[in-house]
Amino acid sequence: MQYDECIKDCDQAVERGRELRADFKMISRALTRKGTALVKLAKSSKDFDIAIETFQKALTEHRNPDTLKKLNEAEKAKKELEQQEYYDPKLADEEREKGMISIIMSSPVPAGGGSLSTIVL
């Protein structure tokens, strides 16, 4: 995997750059490349979280318009993917089940000694 190697190389570059007290711009560039590789590997909306966090770290090192643009694009792609996942019928059924279970678990048991099945009805 080409992107996996890129991520490892960028991690090493950041670590080595900090050891050698390299310019913040160089560290930011390595973090931006890592974030770009993470975006390319992202398959779900949760995968974008790591990439977004990496872009934010890059921006704390050096405020670069290119990095800011990539951060905004990653956030937009994450939001679009979340909406697609939300409309996925399989995921919707799973979330509905989770919601029903949490409602049942948070409901108080009737004082008359009723069973749990009376709550569900």
Confidence of residue 115 (pLDDT cuts 50, 70, 90): low
Q: Residue length, the chain?
A: 121
Model pLDDT for residues 54-93, shown as the tens digit of each residue: 999 999 999 999 999 999 999 999 998 888 877 767 766 7
The whole domain housing 46 covers 2-76
Is 39 a domain residue?
A: yes
Judge if pTM exceeds 0.75: no
Which contacts (CB < 8 Å, 24+ apart) does range 64-68 have? 64/25, 64/28, 64/32, 66/32, 67/28, 67/32, 67/35
Is 95 a domain residue?
A: no
Is 115 a domain residue?
A: no
What is the model's pLDDT at position 88?
Answer: 65
Domain CATH for 42:
1.25.40.10
Average pLDDT value for the chain: 82
The number of domains in the chain is 1
Is 20 a domain residue?
A: yes
Is 31 a domain residue?
A: yes
